[in-house]
Amino acid sequence: MQFLQLLPLIVFAGLVVVAGLKDITSYTIPNWISLALIAAFPIGALAGGIGWASAGVCLALGVGVLLVGLAMFAFGWFGGGDAKLLAVCALWLGWPAGLSFLLTTALAGGALTLGLMSLRSGWLEPIIAGGPAWVRRLGDKKGDIPYGVAIAFGALAALPQSAIGQAILN
């Protein structure tokens, strides 16, 4: 397997990790990450040799997840960056890997929420107080959940099952 074939998967994995790290440290996912992932998708699809039909399914899934994510954002359940990252990951992963992506993301989000609830319970407060600003923000009882971390985890877990991942890795 040549490095150039692997490059789209490396770019995808690197960008979702950066998105998760940005979200956990700043509660933001920059738009450039989602835009870069959208721009890299056709290259990944070509490198993976997926056909027009598979690419169309990926696009349809990405649009569907974006619409659901935007509704969740409108209800205040989700951040805008989270909705965009979720959709672009669904675009890359396609069907049926998109289903395992969403399930893994939901489970990782639940684990993240439970972990943050424990962190915010008060017994770690003396340790958190001496930590960096982003750790203190995570420990804030009224803080949000950096769901980009769960999205990144789900995306990385589902990538080998995706049409692009299977075509390049096999």
DSSP letters along 100-164, please? HHHHHHHHHHHHHHHHHHHHTTSTTHHHHHTS-HHHHHHT-TT----THHHHHHHHHHHGGGSHH
For 45-86, the pLDDT digits (tens) are 888 888 888 889 999 999 999 999 999 999 988 889 999 999
DSSP letters along 110-125, please? HHHHHHHHHHTTSTTH
* Tokens (6 digits) for 160: 């080998």
Residue that wins the pLDDT comparison between 54 and 17: 17
Domain that holds residue 147: 3-169
Total domains present in the chain:
1
For 147-159, the pLDDT digits (tens) are 999 999 999 999 9
Residue that wins the pLDDT comparison between 75 and 124: 75
Average pLDDT, the chain: 89
Cα–Cα dist 112/29, whole Å: 17
Listed residue (92, 112, 90, 87) closest to 11, CA to CA:
92
